[in-house]
């Protein structure tokens, strides 16, 4: 079943209809809706996946927003499967610890399996996780976790039961919130006047510069830049006072906001200048991006098609959500990739949404010895290539698809 866009798209941040559509990734199933073998004969739902740029408030966003209950229930992504991510979380935790007092109350929104909060055992902590299966994993691991969505009601309930938070954390969540205005109001309710909230989310400048078009999928409603964020928080009487670029998810920004008083760091204006230099407030940057995405699609098909025609075998490495955007947009399917391997036991044995490529454990690489491996989880490429050294030593080759397809 293919769903259609509404006739007119409105900006979800400022309600403007002055929306410039710059990239259409085609009807796409939900990127984390992996399929069980027994459901392979059932039809999937395809949603429009188009990226827009609001010419009023400059927020980049997708036009069709899927009900979060459909998106996040029984969500399959569990953060602790990756070494790189654990390391990045540890760095985040150290940064945060340098900014808070010993007895602080820390609340993490969308705390997943508790990987980040595990770094704060000696503090007062609370996780909020809407996916019931993942909240259970966190609780079993000793992390106090509320299994619900974060909104104004949840914020009020937490204040009543536990008091106001000294620090609110949200990693890879800010871009997922369909109503940012309401979300910020909820954060304000929960946050102590001397506290701060910190969010880490993929950065639009990285997406644009490194051609990370595959990070566009239905869970990511917004593609964030600092300049429009400053204005949004200002509208809610909050100030974005510090920001740091990190390597998370192909390049992210970690931004700090408060309703109290904190010293405004120069790093904030530095990034605003960078965004002006990249012309992120103008149509042209997005038009260029879109034509580069098309070129990448052609080039990847050309490269993989030629290898396949010459009798080579190709497997995929990693079944991240973005891999499914890449496969569905470029049209690379099971006729090219024989299978995909992924370290998460939750994904092994399933099939990718849309292209329906089977997912195995990474053991399959040494057993089946494909000639080429297409790294779909390119943000973990270094880790993957390190772990699969034996494969490379026996003549195997890796292909990294972005910023443009290359064989390593
Ligand atoms: Zn807008």
> Which of 87 and 31 is assigned the larger pLDDT?
31
Res 294: pLDDT: 97
Could you tell me if 198 and 107 are in contact, meaning their C-beta atoms sit under 8 angstroms apart?
no
Enumerate the domain spans of the chain.
79-281
> pLDDT-based confidence at 76, cuts 50/70/90?
low
- Ligand 1 centre to CA of 219 (Å) is 19
- Helix or strand run (H / E) with residue 385: helix 381-387
- Ligand 1 centre to CA of 131 (Å) is 29
CATH H superfamily, domain 79-281 = Vaccinia Virus protein VP39 (3.40.50.150)
Task: Encode pLDDT of 361-373 as tens digits.
Answer: 999 998 999 999 9
> pLDDT-based confidence at 84, cuts 50/70/90?
confident
- Ligand 1 centre to CA of 165 (Å) is 30
- Ligand 1 centre to CA of 182 (Å) is 15
Residue 371: both structure tokens together: 């000639």
> pLDDT-based confidence at 208, cuts 50/70/90?
very high
Dihedral over Cα of 286, 52, 169, 323: its sign? negative
- Ligand 1 centre to CA of 10 (Å) is 8
Average pLDDT of the segment spanning 162-186: 95
- Ligand 1 centre to CA of 320 (Å) is 29
Residue 111: both structure tokens together: 């705390």
- Ligand 1 centre to CA of 221 (Å) is 13
Could you tell me if 29 and 38 are in contact, meaning their C-beta atoms sit under 8 angstroms apart?
no
Residue 134: both structure tokens together: 């993942």
Beta strands at 340-341 and 359-360: parallel, antiparallel or unpaired:
parallel
- Ligand 1 centre to CA of 173 (Å) is 19
pLDDT of 78 over the 60 cut: no
Distances (CA, A) of 29 to 48, 64, 132, 217, 230: 9, 12, 22, 9, 33
Task: Encode pLDDT of 275-313 as tens digits.
Answer: 999 999 999 999 999 999 999 999 999 999 999 999 999
Residue 360: both structure tokens together: 């195995």
The label of the residue with tokens 């927020």 reads 59
- Ligand 1 centre to CA of 17 (Å) is 8
Average confidence score pLDDT of the chain? 94
> pLDDT-based confidence at 11, cuts 50/70/90?
very high
Average pLDDT of the segment spanning 143-158: 96
> pLDDT-based confidence at 251, cuts 50/70/90?
very high
- Ligand 1 centre to CA of 223 (Å) is 13
Task: Encode pLDDT of 234-246 as tens digits.
Answer: 999 999 999 999 9
């Amino acid at each position: 079943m293919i769903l259609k866009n509404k006739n007119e798209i409105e900006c979800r941040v400022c309600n403007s209809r002055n929306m410039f559509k710059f990239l259409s990734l085609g009807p796409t199933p939900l990127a984390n809706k992996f399929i069980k073998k027994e459901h392979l004969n059932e039809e999937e739902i395809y949603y429009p996946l188009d990226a827009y740029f609001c010419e009023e408030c400059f927020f980049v966003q997708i036009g069709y927003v899927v009900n979060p209950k459909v998106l996040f229930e029984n969500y399959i992504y569990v953060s602790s499967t990756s070494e790189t991510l654990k390391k990045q979380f540890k760095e985040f935790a150290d940064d945060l610890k340098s900014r808070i007092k010993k007895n602080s109350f820390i609340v993490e929104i969308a705390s997943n399996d508790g990987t980040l909060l595990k770094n704060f055992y000696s503090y007062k902590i609370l996780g909020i996780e809407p996916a019931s299966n993942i909240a259970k994993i966190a609780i079993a691991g000793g992390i106090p976790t509320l299994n619900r969505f974060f909104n104004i009601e949840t914020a009020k309930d937490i204040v009543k039961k536990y008091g106001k938070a000294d620090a609110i954390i949200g990693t890879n969540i800010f871009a997922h919130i369909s109503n940012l205005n309401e979300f910020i109001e909820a954060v304000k309710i929960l946050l102590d006047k001397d506290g701060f909230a910190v969010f880490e989310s993929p950065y639009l400048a990285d997406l644009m510069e490194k051609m990370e078009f595959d990070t566009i999928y239905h869970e990511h409603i917004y593609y964030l830049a600092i300049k429009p964020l400053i204005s949004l928080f200002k509208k809610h009487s909050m100030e974005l006072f510090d920001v740091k670029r990190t390597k998370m998810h192909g390049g992210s920004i970690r931004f700090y906001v408060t309703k109290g008083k904190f010293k405004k760091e120069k790093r904030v204006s530095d990034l605003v200048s960078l965004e002006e230099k990249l012309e992120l407030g103008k149509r042209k940057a997005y038009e260029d991006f879109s034509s580069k995405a098309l070129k990448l699609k052609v080039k990847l098909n050309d490269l993989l098609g030629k290898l396949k025609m010459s009798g080579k075998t190709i497997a995929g490495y990693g079944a991240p959500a973005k891999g499914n955007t890449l496969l569905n947009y470029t049209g690379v399917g099971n006729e090219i990739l024989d299978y995909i391997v992924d370290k998460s036991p939750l994904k092994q044995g399933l099939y990718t949404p849309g292209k329906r490529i089977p997912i195995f454990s990474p053991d399959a690489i040494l057993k089946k010895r494909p000639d080429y491996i297409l790294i779909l989880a390119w943000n973990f490429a270094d880790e993957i290539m390190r772990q699969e050294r034996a494969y490379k030593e026996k003549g195997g080759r890796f292909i990294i698809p972005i910023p443009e397809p290359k064989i390593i």
